[in-house]
């Protein structure tokens, strides 16, 4: 039985989703051989204020994007990233050491950028350690936090992310482009468009616009949906309100000029994407990756400055969608796409599908399993303060 430890934090839904996707792929591949634990490091093993980062992160992003963008870019150098992560390590060192004692493993998998370097630093305090694999869950504009030269393997979703790793000092043999891990059931649950629409009870012939704002129903979903509604286009709209009950109720109380389907948090996103013709969404990496696998062109209305900026370029430059940061631009894009007819949508759908990597999660799971078979790594013993002092020539010592 091989023990696999996943390190993540619920600062945004993508880290947990990535870990769960890889975990489930491993359990499908090696059901009798893999023992897997998942640890939310900030929540379970960190003091204040890190303990509350899952609550603080969305608050910061939604209320202070300009400050977030500034801090992201200021820290995004090798030197500054190391200063920050050293500070994080000093703050949570005791918790990390306790975590590794309480969760012995044959391989450690980290899916959160800020945890990579501190976790490796903590592991160096033991006589030996398991191999360490980092799985980068930002698509393109990856932060230097992700890249630590001590990792055995760094799995990245795109070529630009690999190139950033090389510039950060990792060796080519440490890096591999796999794609972003999407749950193995996603591709398996994709269906023919007509079959999916029949299952959902949607109109079989109307072009369908799917609108999402993440699990929490964030962003200008209501404003954008109402702007589309005002155009009286020949289409149907599907809106996923997520866990945002107030948004769902507001949408349900509104009058709509076309067939409009409103859902709370859903677990059948593959079926919804298979049944749609276009997606209106923020530039989250997981949503973009799922849309590409489903062959669904995207209209991106928002992006977190820094880590999601490159996602927009990735989509636009490959002809898989557009960036439309205002409700007016969204509606004009939809009007233009519908005017082109089925051939235009098919061209964009094909472009999106070419970016999809449905096998990424399996490739990542197999890489991790390979490292779980490897022997533990002997750490170079660090000299004590006394030993360091004794190495200083006597004439140079101060008494």
| 10 and 93 assigned to the same domain | yes
| 177 and 218 assigned to the same domain | no
What pTM was estimated for this model as a whole? 0.89
> Considering the domain boundaries, does residue 346 fall inside one?
yes
| 303 and 377 assigned to the same domain | no
| 285 and 366 assigned to the same domain | no
> Considering the domain boundaries, does residue 370 fall inside one?
yes
Confidence band (pLDDT; 50, 70, 90) for 20?
very high
Confidence band (pLDDT; 50, 70, 90) for 254?
very high
> Considering the domain boundaries, does residue 397 fall inside one?
no
Where in the sequence is the domain holding 156, given as residue range(s)? 2-181+359-390
pLDDT in the model for residue 392: 52
What's the token pair of residue 204? 């079989």
> Considering the domain boundaries, does residue 399 fall inside one?
no
| 341 and 367 assigned to the same domain | no
| 175 and 251 assigned to the same domain | no
**Closest alpha carbon to 81 in 116, 43, 42:** 116
328 pLDDT above the threshold of 80: yes
Question: pLDDT tens-digit profile of 29-85?
Answer: 999 999 999 999 999 999 988 888 877 776 776 677 777 788 888 899 989 999 999
| 260 and 303 assigned to the same domain | yes
The pLDDT of 18-26, averaged and rounded, is: 97
Radius of gyration of the chain (CA): 23
386 pLDDT above the threshold of 50: no
> Considering the domain boundaries, does residue 36 fall inside one?
yes
> Considering the domain boundaries, does residue 150 fall inside one?
yes
| 162 and 64 assigned to the same domain | yes
| 200 and 149 assigned to the same domain | no
Question: pLDDT tens-digit profile of 268-322?
Answer: 999 999 999 999 999 999 999 999 999 999 999 988 888 899 999 999 999 999 9
| 268 and 335 assigned to the same domain | yes
**Which range, of 56-60, 108-112, 328-332, 357-361, averages the lowest pLDDT?**
56-60
| 26 and 130 assigned to the same domain | yes
Question: pLDDT tens-digit profile of 101-153?
Answer: 999 999 999 999 999 999 999 999 999 999 999 999 999 999 999 999 999 99
| 116 and 150 assigned to the same domain | yes
pLDDT in the model for residue 381: 61
> Considering the domain boundaries, does residue 212 fall inside one?
yes
> Considering the domain boundaries, does residue 398 fall inside one?
no
Residue 262's domain is classified under what CATH number? 3.40.50.2000
Question: pLDDT tens-digit profile of 149-189?
Answer: 999 999 999 999 999 999 999 999 999 999 999 999 999 99
HSE-CB for 312 with a 13 A CA cutoff: 16
How many domains does the chain fold into?
A: 2
């Amino acid at each position: 039985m091989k023990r696999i430890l996943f390190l993540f934090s619920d600062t945004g839904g993508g880290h947990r989703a990535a870990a769960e996707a890889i975990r489930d792929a491993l359990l499908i591949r090696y059901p009798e051989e893999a023992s897997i634990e998942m640890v939310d490091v900030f929540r379970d093993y960190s003091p204040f204020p890190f303990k509350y980062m899952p609550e603080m992160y969305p608050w910061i992003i939604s209320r202070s994007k300009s400050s977030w963008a500034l801090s992201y870019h200021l820290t995004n150098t090798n030197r500054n990233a190391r200063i920050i992560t050293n500070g994080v390590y000093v703050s949570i060192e005791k918790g990390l050491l306790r975590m590794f004692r309480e969760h012995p493993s044959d391989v450690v998998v980290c899916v959160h950028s800020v945890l990579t370097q501190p976790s490796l630093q903590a592991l160096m305090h033991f006589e030996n350690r398991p191999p360490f694999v980092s799985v980068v869950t930002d698509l393109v504009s990856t932060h230097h936090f992700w890249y630590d030269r001590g990792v055995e393997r760094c799995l990245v979703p795109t070529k630009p992310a690999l190139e950033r790793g090389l510039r950060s000092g990792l060796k080519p043999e440490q890096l591999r482009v796999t794609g972003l891990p999407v749950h193995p059931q996603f591709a398996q649950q994709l269906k023919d468009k007509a079959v999916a629409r029949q299952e959902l009870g949607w109109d079989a012939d109307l072009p369908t616009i799917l609108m999402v704002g993440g699990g929490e129903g964030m962003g200008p979903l209501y404003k954008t949906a109402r702007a589309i509604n005002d155009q009286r286009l020949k289409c149907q709209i599907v809106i996923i309100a997520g866990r945002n009950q107030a948004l769902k109720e507001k949408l349900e109380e509104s009058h709509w000029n076309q067939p409009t389907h409103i859902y709370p948090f859903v677990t059948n996103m593959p079926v919804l994407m298979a049944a749609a013709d276009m997606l209106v969404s923020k530039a989250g990496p997981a949503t973009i990756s799922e849309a590409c696998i489903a062959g669904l062109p995207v209209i991106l209305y928002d992006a977190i400055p820094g880590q999601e900026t490159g996602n927009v370029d990735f989509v636009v430059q490959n002809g898989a969608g557009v960036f439309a940061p205002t409700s007016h631009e969204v509606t004009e894009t939809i009007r233009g796409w519908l005017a082109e007819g089925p051939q235009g949508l098919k061209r964009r759908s094909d472009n999106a599908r070419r970016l999809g990597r449905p096998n990424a999660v399996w490739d990542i799971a197999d890489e991790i399993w390979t490292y779980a078979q490897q022997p533990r790594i002997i750490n170079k013993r660090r000299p004590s303060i006394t030993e360091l002092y004794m190495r200083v020539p006597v004439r140079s010592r101060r008494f």
